[in-house]
Amino acid sequence: MHKAVHKTVHKIVQNKVQSMADDKKLDAKKAGAKEPAPKKAKSTALAPAPSPEGSLSRYLAEIRKFPILEAQEEYELARDYAEKDNVKAAHTLVTSHLRLVAKIAMGYRGYGLPIGEVISEGNVGLMQAVKKFDAERGFRLATYAMWWIRASIQEYILRSWSLVKIGTTAAQKKLFFNLRRLKGEINAIDGGSMTPEQVSEIAERLGVQENEVEMMDGRMSTGDQSLNAPMRGRGSEGEDGGEWQDWLEDSAESQEVVLAEEDEMDARRQLLLGALATLNEREAEILQARRLKDEPDTLETLSHRFNVSRERIRQIEARAFEKLRTAMTEQAQDRGLIEG
């Protein structure tokens, strides 16, 4: 078993639970309350707790030794901690729910992270739940703690799964933690890329865009790749092919091409505006309505507007277009854009 980064549960429980009591004392001090005098004869030593470091089966066997609390006993311990800052009561609440953490953590084994670290993160969430638990609301600690445990584990997975930040929005987090399950339900796990129908179904069920499903599926299907990874066998005559980034192509046009196209378009626009100025008002209006609109007006429409026949509109259009072409050609020659 991979060694967990976090401290053993024994140390975490003692330090974290003790910090809970310290936080409460600090809050009471800020509020003007007097800090209770320490009791001399009472020992605060806690029983050791197992750690998810090492053998997983041994850890699971150890945490089964902690008894499950009855509802009344749990209520009394929670009140004792809330009202008297009883660290031993908090310790009992935590250790009695370590099995719940392990059960929830097992559901996140498919993300390639050490299960010991996942359990440790869940234990941190459990201790946060104990710190904020209010027994007077009438529900059990397990019901309340499961949300804190899942949130802590999911936050750890999002931080550790990739070097590139992932799941920055609520929709992306929901997609990250549900995509694999939904792919299994629609038999899309081993079929390579998903079909458009499968992508559409998952997007509809999760309430996200189809392109978000495709992007997340691509990220989850392949791990992080270094741009500096060597590419052997790509060079000529068996030479080193350099790094991966050397073989990446940019599909966008180069800056030189973009600037040249923009200059050409601007020049054409100026020629058109200058040529339109040579037409009279009726010619310019008919030409724009027939040649320069996305949806050109019909001859019938323009004949009613100008109170002439459709044939007359056609003649005016043809004459205006010829004048426009002649004017643009002359301007282009004057500016040296084309040869005379």
Parse the chain into domains and list their residue ranges. Answer: 9-34+44-161, 173-221, 256-334
Domain 256-334 belongs to what topology? Arc Repressor Mutant, subunit A (1.10.10)
Average pLDDT over residues 53-68: 85
Task: Place 260 in a pLDDT band, splitting at 50, 70 and 90.
Answer: confident
The pLDDT tens digits for 215-226 are 787 777 666 667
The pLDDT tens digits for 102-147 are 999 998 887 888 898 999 999 999 999 999 999 899 889 999 999 9
Burial 112-150 (b: 16+ CB within 10 A, else e): ebbbbbbbbbbbbbbbbbbbebebeeeeebbebbbebbb
pLDDT at residue number 209: 83
Under 8 Å between Cβ of 156 and 101: no
Task: Place 47 in a pLDDT band, splitting at 50, 70 and 90.
Answer: very low
* Closest-CA residue to 51 (of 90, 125, 102, 126): 102
pLDDT at residue number 37: 45
Q: Based on the number of CB atoms within 10 Å of its own CB, is 312 exposed (0-12), middle (13-18) or buried (19 or more)?
A: middle
What CATH number does the domain located at 9-34+44-161 have?
Answer: 1.10.1740.10
